[in-house]
Each structure stands twice: as C-alpha cells, then as structure tokens.
C-alpha cells in the first residue's frame, strides 16, 4: 500500500534556506511531515553568504537561495519568484506617486541589509547600474527589524515581497521605476552529491506543492 511505502521513508533531512524563505518553507513542512512522519528535519536560516559557506562545507542536503553560486558546480531548479520591492511607511509622501524615478530614492534615508546578504547585493547592483547613491542611515541584519524600522519612520528599504506575508498593514510598496527586481528561489545542491531518498522526496514534494499553489513556471536555463 502507498501508506506503507511512505512510512518506510525514514531518516534525516537537513535544509538550509536564505532569510526570505523562512516566511514560506516552514509552512510547507507541516504537510510534508504529516505525509512522511518518519523523516526528521533540521532547518537552518541564514543569509546568502552563510548558505555558500554551509554548501562548501557540505553541511546540508538541500539549499534554498535566490542567486545560484557562480563558482561551485551545482544542480539547481527554480521553483518560485522572489521579487524585491521598495517599502515605505504607509504615510510616506511617495506612496501616492506612480512611476517614481529610481533617482528619487537617493533623497530618502535608506535602510540596508548587512554585507553578505543577497538582497543587499541585488539592490546595490541595480543602484550601481543607474548611478544611484542612497544615503544609508541604518544597516540591519534582519528583514523583520528592517520592517519595524520602516514602520517606525527611520527610512525606506528594499526587501523580498515574501517578507510582507502574511500581512504588514503599516507598510506600503512604492511604485518605483525598475522595480520589482525580478528574482527566483532555487533549490540547489552540489553536482557531485548523491541525494538521499529523503532529500529527493523533499525536492519532488516542494516542486509539486508549489506548482499546485501557484501555477508557477520558469525558465530554468538561466542562473539568475
């Protein structure tokens, strides 16, 4: 019987995910654990650089990240969009504006993620591309802390739209040119690594579950 086969899947699943995925992956683990009660899970949440370090030390079975490592030979599959949006407090004067020039962001106090963050790198790349220098008022190593700092009026920032889930009534997404920055989440593992049955089961589950939820489809030939 199918149920018996599922019961036979036992062992450990070690996952490491970037900070933005913590708003999503734990919820999906609930149904997975019900389906496969014999699987024990450990979940590490860290920034992009932390994921790269864990991967080079081969600490986990599977990794979820937004930027596939360039200098490592990996297998990867995109499974969901992870757009970055400009966030301001709901009473900010730019909230009502449409098509705001990206240069306008230079006039606003800006809250930036820490070095090593993939979010920070994407944001910095876009600003560099358009010659925008923002005034960084505050550097914070946490999406949650940044959301509270924005709501508290300390400045604006750019974060993954996923950080707004389930809701953030005190924040607004600004309509700035060249935003959202389009990115995806990828599930990644080193090419030389033989996936355990448990890890393969999780990978297939994740892809299927997301497909059912979102009708997501993406071109998997590009790394970004």
Report which of 78, 77, 75 is spatially closest to residue 194, judged by C-alpha positions.
75
Q: Rounded to the nearest whole angstrom, what is the least distance from the CB of residue 73 to ligand PGA in the complex?
A: 21
* Closer to ligand PGA by Cβ: residue 9 or 162: 162
Secondary structure percentages of the chain, helix, strand, coil, to 5: 35, 30, 35
The reply to whether 163 sits near ligand PGA by the rule CB under 6 A is no
- Edge-to-edge strand list for the sheet holding 74-81: 39-46, 11-18, 62-65, 184-190, 74-81
Shortest distance, position 86 Cβ to ligand PGA, whole Å: 15
Task: Report the residue from 105, 118, 179, 186 that binds ligand PGA according to the rule CB under 6 A.
Answer: 118
Least distance in Å: CB of 11 to ligand PGA?
28
As measured in angstroms, the least distance from the Cβ of 163 to ligand PGA is 9
Contact of 181 with 81, CB cutoff 8 Å: no
Number of residues located near ligand PGA, criterion CB under 6 A: 12
Query: Residue 192 carries which DSSP code?
Result: T
- Report d(CA 152, CA 94) in Å as an integer: 16
Instruction: Provide the mask over 71-90, with x wherever binding to ligand PGA is found by CB under 6 A and - wherever it is not.
Output: -----------x--------
Residues that bind ligand PGA (CB under 6 A): 18-20, 47-48, 66, 82, 113, 117-119, 160
């Amino acid at each position: 019987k199918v149920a018996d086969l599922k019961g036979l899947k036992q062992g450990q699943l070690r996952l490491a995910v970037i900070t933005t995925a913590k708003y999503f992956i734990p919820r999906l683990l609930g149904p997975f654990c019900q389906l496969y009660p014999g699987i024990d899970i450990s979940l590490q949440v860290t920034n992009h650089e932390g994921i790269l370090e864990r991967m080079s030390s081969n600490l986990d079975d599977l990794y979820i990240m937004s930027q596939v490592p360039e200098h490592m030979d990996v297998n990867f599959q995109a499974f969901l969009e992870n757009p970055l949006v400009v966030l301001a407090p709901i009473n900010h004067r730019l909230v009502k504006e449409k098509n705001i020039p990206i240069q306008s962001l230079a006039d606003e106090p800006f809250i930036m993620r820490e070095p090593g963050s993939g979010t920070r790198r994407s944001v910095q790349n876009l600003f560099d591309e358009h010659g925008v220098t923002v005034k960084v008022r505050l550097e914070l190593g946490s999406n949650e802390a940044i959301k509270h700092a924005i709501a508290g009026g300390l400045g604006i920032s750019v974060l993954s739209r996923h950080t707004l889930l389930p809701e953030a009534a005190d924040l607004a997404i600004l309509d700035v040119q060249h935003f959202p920055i389009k990115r995806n989440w990828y599930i990644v593992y080193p090419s030389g690594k033989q996936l355990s049955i448990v890890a393969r089961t999780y990978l297939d589950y994740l892809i299927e579950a997301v497909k059912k939820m979102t009708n997501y489809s993406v071109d998997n030939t590009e790394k970004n």
